[in-house]
Every structure is written in structure tokens, then in C-alpha cells.
């Protein structure tokens, strides 16, 4: 079946369109996991619908800059995500917004000051299909349950200096289901999956740092200053380097940089907090 | 909009905070961000970085910076045809740009100069002046952040 609006779409229904857009996404119960990065994707997609509608589906935003992503609580398959995106500014060059995802009214993820550069829709997707989809999700809503989960995205860790740094190769798959949806005319590795992967590598570094007390472990709580400098097409190999940048009491900051042919293609700073083990 | 009467004192007052934001956006050491540093040529800034810098300045100084209109502002009273022809700045266009970007050392203005290459001239001071202009343009009753 065509993966458009199925393989990587995370807004089932828009309950209030506009600059303070609200929506819902039912996480399918049959999948193994739903990383918080995908809740971030859902918030971004909600904002993107407002951006596209405002430009009559001629322009769309893509992932660019995420200054602050707060990882507040895990989400599980079967839960209903309540999505809020408040648009600060929107023009032909960019959209900027703050967003929140909640489960049962409790915040699970917050985005602050995100910026998405605008690109021509036609290069990436079918404008009329997007318009039809927008009408559907603003009305009766889409049938939930289309997402089948993420494919395995293995990191090839090539070097670890425990507690200090780690290097890895991120092999963006040459083909994966989500590329049919992100995006049909020009497949691009989603920025939120980039964040997911760099957080995984940062966790390898954090694991080598002694926690402040015996019954605590490092938990990723914020992803700061993420910026994607270029589109990452299928089949790309990225060199990731994670480095301990700062340790202050119960907080660790790890800087991760991605390079392709010695050019920095993206970076993030991941903040881990020492928390009592569950 | 006039910009020639922006004083060095105003720029100096703006510089430390603006430089910090630019360094954060580019992920570089603060010391590398000097008043006449070219953000593209010296610090490797790309278009996404300019977007990042503009939004940081907007949040930090509580101004709205008109995006995509810097060249239009630089043109000043000149018509588009007087400013450039076929994507290349005219003599009058270069003269006008040198006034608008008075902070840029004259030897950085190449000849011929393409419109698309104007951002290569932008320095830290260029962004300080951009913020100062917008603070001055803020509607009456709105107090720009210091």
C-alpha cells in the first residue's frame, strides 16, 4: 500500500486550525515503541499544516532549527497524543513556533522557538493531495493506526572513550517505508530521526560517566540547539561524533556533530540529568 | 529608511549581546565574532545560520526583523533597475550599498558584485545595525529591549 500519509504522518485530526493549532494523534497500539522524537515530529507536522494552509499549499516548512526540545515523559503505544503548536511568525521564508505534546493532559514533550525554512511544496509532495488530506484531518479526521513503527536504524559505533567521547557512522537507509511519506517526491531523512540517533550516541558517552549517587542513572531530558544544515537523502553515510561538553552536578551536556565529507551537516547538545532508577 | 546616523556608541552597546547570539548560532567561540567579521567568509555561516541569527536577535532584542528584505532596504531610494541589472549591481547600486553597509571595509566590495553575493559582505555590525533600525522603527508605545 502507498505509504503517503501512512508511513510517517502523525496528525490524525486537527481540532482547531490556525495560528494556535490543536490536534490529535492516536499512537497505534500494535507497534513496539514510539520514541519521543516522533512526538516532536507530530508537533512539527501540526505546525507545518498551518504553514502550508497559509500559503495555499505552495510552500511548506521543513525541519531546520530546534533550540529547545524538552523530553518530559515517555509515551507508549496505544496512548492518545494531544498536540498544540503556537505559531509565532509565518512568512514565505520561515515558520517559527512553540509546541507541546500531552497525554491525558500531562505534558510529555515541549518544543521552544523552532524554526522551519519554507520550501516549494511541488519539489517534495503533491500539493493537491496535501490539500485533500488537510480537509480530511480538519473534518472527520484520518483513520488511526496507519503507522507501522520505525525500521531498525542501527548506529555503527566506531570508537568510544568512556565518559568522554564516541564516534559512530549513521547509515541512513537507501530505502525505508517512511521515505514514501517524507517526502513522496524527494525523500529526506527526517530531522526528528536525526535527533533520535544523536541522542542514542550521546547516551553511550553518558553511560561512561559516573552518576552522582549509586542509585541514579543519566536520563536525556533536553535536546538543545539542533540545527540541520542540509537535506539528508536516502543512502547517506554520516559521521557522528559525541563529546562530553560539560558536567555540572546532576547535569551532563554532550555535544554531537554530524559530518558528511568533512562538512558539518547537523548538530545537537543533549542534556542528561541524573535521576533515581525506576 | 535612513541608517547613516546610527552611531558607533549605539553599535558598541548592541555588540556584546549580538555577538553572543551569533556565536551561539554558529557554534563558534565568542572571541571569533568581531565587529567586522564576515559571517560567511570568516565563520562559514550558511543561509540556515542567517535564519537562526535573525530569530535569536528577534527574541533577544524583542524586535521583528523583516526577513528577505535586507537587499530591498539596502537599495534605499534607488529603483530595482537603478540598483542592479541582470543580477549584477550597477555603479550606483554599489555606491548605495557601500553607504548602507558602511561598516564593511571598502576592499571587500568586489567588482562586479552579484546581488546573490551581498550576504557575503554581512558582518556582525551589519546585524547590530539591523536591530537598531528595527528598534527605531518600533511603533510608538513599544519599548525596545535594551
- A222's CB contacts (< 8 A; 6+ apart) are A68, A69, A70, A71, A270, A271
What pLDDT is stored for residue B66 in this prediction? 80
What pLDDT is stored for residue A116 in this prediction? 97
Under 8 Å CB pairs connecting chains A and B tally to 35
What DSSP character marks residue B38? B
Q: Residue B68 and residue A96: Cβ atoms within 8 Å?
A: no
Which has more confidence, B132 or A212?
A: B132
Buried b (16+ CB within 10 A) or exposed e, A125-156: bbbeebeebbebbbeebbeeebbeebeeeebe
Banded pLDDT at A214 (limits 50, 70, 90): confident
A170: cell is 549513521
pTM of the model: 0.91
Task: Tell me the pLDDT tens digit for each residue of B19-33.
Answer: 999 999 998 899 999
Q: Across chain A, what does the average pLDDT equal?
A: 96
Taking every pair of Cα atoms in chain B, the longest distance, rounded to a whole number of angstroms, is 44
Task: State the best of A194, A229, A231, A255 to mutate against chain B, taking most chain B CBs within 10 Å.
Answer: A229
Task: State the best of B43, B50, B52, B63 to mutate against chain A, taking most chain A CBs within 10 Å.
Answer: B52
The pLDDT of residue B1 is above 80: no
Banded pLDDT at A162 (limits 50, 70, 90): very high
The verdict on A111 touching B (C-beta cutoff 8 Å) is no
Banded pLDDT at B3 (limits 50, 70, 90): very low
The pLDDT of residue A17 is above 80: yes
For residues A2-25, average pLDDT: 96
Banded pLDDT at A138 (limits 50, 70, 90): very high
Q: Residue A93 and residue B64: Cβ atoms within 8 Å?
A: no
Chain B residues near residue A94 by CB distance under 8 angstroms:
51, 55, 67
Best CA proximity match to A191, nearest among A61, A3, A59: A61
For residues B123-142, average pLDDT: 83
Task: Tell me the pLDDT tens digit for each residue of B47-106.
Answer: 899 999 999 999 999 999 887 777 888 888 999 999 999 999 999 999 999 999 999 999
| Closest CA of chain A from B46, distance in Å | 8
Beta strand pairing status for A80-90 and B88-89? Answer: unpaired
The pLDDT of residue B45 is above 60: yes
Q: Name the strand (E) or helix (H) holding A89.
A: strand A80-90
Angle at CA of residue B36, ends A68 and B119, nearest 5°: 65
Interface predicted TM-score (ipTM): 0.85
Please report where in the chains the cell 549581546 appears, as a residue: B17
Beta-bridge partners for A61: A118
Task: Tell me the pLDDT tens digit for each residue of A71-122.
Answer: 999 999 999 999 999 999 999 999 999 999 999 999 999 999 999 999 999 9
State how far Cα A19 lies from the chain centre. 21
For residues A222-233, average pLDDT: 95
For residues A9-33, average pLDDT: 97
Q: Which among A64, A94, A229 is the nearest to B67, CB-wise?
A: A94
| Closest CA of chain A from B103, distance in Å | 26
Task: Tell me the pLDDT tens digit for each residue of A26-53.
Answer: 999 999 999 999 999 999 999 999 999 9
- A148's CB contacts (< 8 A; 6+ apart) are A7, A28, A31, A177
Q: Which among B52, B59, B64 is the nearest to A227, CB-wise?
A: B52
Q: Which among B47, B51, B64 is the nearest to A115, CB-wise?
A: B51
Best CA proximity match to B119, nearest among B53, B42, B43, B39: B39
Chain A residues near residue B64 by CB distance under 8 angstroms:
89
Could you tell me which chain A residue has the CA closest to the CA of B24?
A225
Amino acid at each position: 500500500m502507498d505509504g503517503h500519509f501512512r508511513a510517517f504522518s502523525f496528525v490524525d485530526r486537527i481540532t482547531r486550525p490556525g495560528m494556535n493549532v490543536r490536534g490529535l494523534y492516536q499512537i497505534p497500539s500494535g507497534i513496539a515503541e514510539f520514541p519521543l522524537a516522533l512526538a516532536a515530529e507530530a508537533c512539527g507536522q501540526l505546525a507545518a499544516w498551518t504553514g502550508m494552509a497559509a500559503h495555499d499549499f505552495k510552500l511548506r516548512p521543513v525541519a531546520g532549527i530546534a533550540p529547545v526540545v524538552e523530553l518530559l515523559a515517555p509515551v507508549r503505544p496505544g496512548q492518545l497524543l494531544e498536540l498544540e503548536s503556537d505559531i509565532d511568525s509565518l512568512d514565505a521564508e520561515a515558520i517559527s513556533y512553540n509546541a507541546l505534546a500531552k497525554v491525558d493532559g500531562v505534558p510529555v514533550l515541549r518544543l521552544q522557538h523552532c524554526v522551519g525554512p519554507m520550501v516549494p511544496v511541488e519539489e517534495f509532495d503533491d500539493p493537491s493531495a496535501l490539500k485533500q488530506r488537510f480537509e480530511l484531518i480538519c473534518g472527520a479526521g484520518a483513520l488511526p493506526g496507519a503507522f507501522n513503527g520505525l525500521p531498525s536504524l542501527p548506529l555503527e559505533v566506531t570508537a568510544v572513550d568512556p565518559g568522554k567521547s564516541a564516534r559512530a557512522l549513521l547509515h541512513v537507509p537507501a530505502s525505508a517505508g517512511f521515505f514514501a511519506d517524507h517526502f513522496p517526491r524527494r525523500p529526506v531523512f527526517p530531522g526528528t530521526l536525526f535527533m533520535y540517533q544523536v541522542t542514542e550516541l550521546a547516551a553511550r558517552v553518558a553511560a561512561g560517566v559516573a552518576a552522582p549517587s549509586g542509585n541514579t542513572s543519566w536520563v536525556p531530558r533536553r535536546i538543545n540547539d539542533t540545527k540541520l544544515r542540509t537535506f539528508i537523502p536516502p543512502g547517506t553515510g554520516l559521521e557522528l561524533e559525541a563529546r562530553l561538553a560539560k558536567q555540572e552536578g546532576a547535569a551532563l551536556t554532550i555535544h554531537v556533530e554530524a559530518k558528511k565529507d568533512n562538512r558539518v551537516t547537523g548538530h545537537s547538545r543533549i542534556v542528561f540529568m541524573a535521576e533515581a532508577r525506576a | 529608511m535612513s541608517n547613516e546616523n546610527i552611531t558607533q556608541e549605539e553599535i558598541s552597546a548592541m555588540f556584546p549581546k549580538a555577538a553572543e547570539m551569533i556565536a551561539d548560532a554558529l557554534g563558534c567561540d565568542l572571541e571569533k565574532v568581531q565587529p567586522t567579521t564576515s559571517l560567511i567568509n570568516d565563520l562559514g555561516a550558511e543561509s540556515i545560520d542567517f535564519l537562526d541569527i535573525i530569530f535569536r536577535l528577534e527574541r533577544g532584542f524583542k524586535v521583528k526583523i523583516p526577513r528577505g528584505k535586507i537587499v530591498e532596504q539596502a537599495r534605499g531610494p534607488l529603483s530595482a533597475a537603478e540598483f542592479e541589472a541582470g543580477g549584477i549591481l550597477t555603479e550606483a547600486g554599489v555606491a548605495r550599498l557601500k553607504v548602507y553597509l558602511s561598516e564593511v571595509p571598502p576592499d571587500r566590495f568586489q567588482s562586479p558584485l552579484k546581488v546573490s553575493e551581498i550576504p557575503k559582505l554581512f558582518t556582525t555590525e551589519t546585524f547590530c545595525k539591523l536591530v537598531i533600525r528595527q528598534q527605531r522603527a518600533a511603533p510608538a508605545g513599544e519599548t525596545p529591549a535594551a
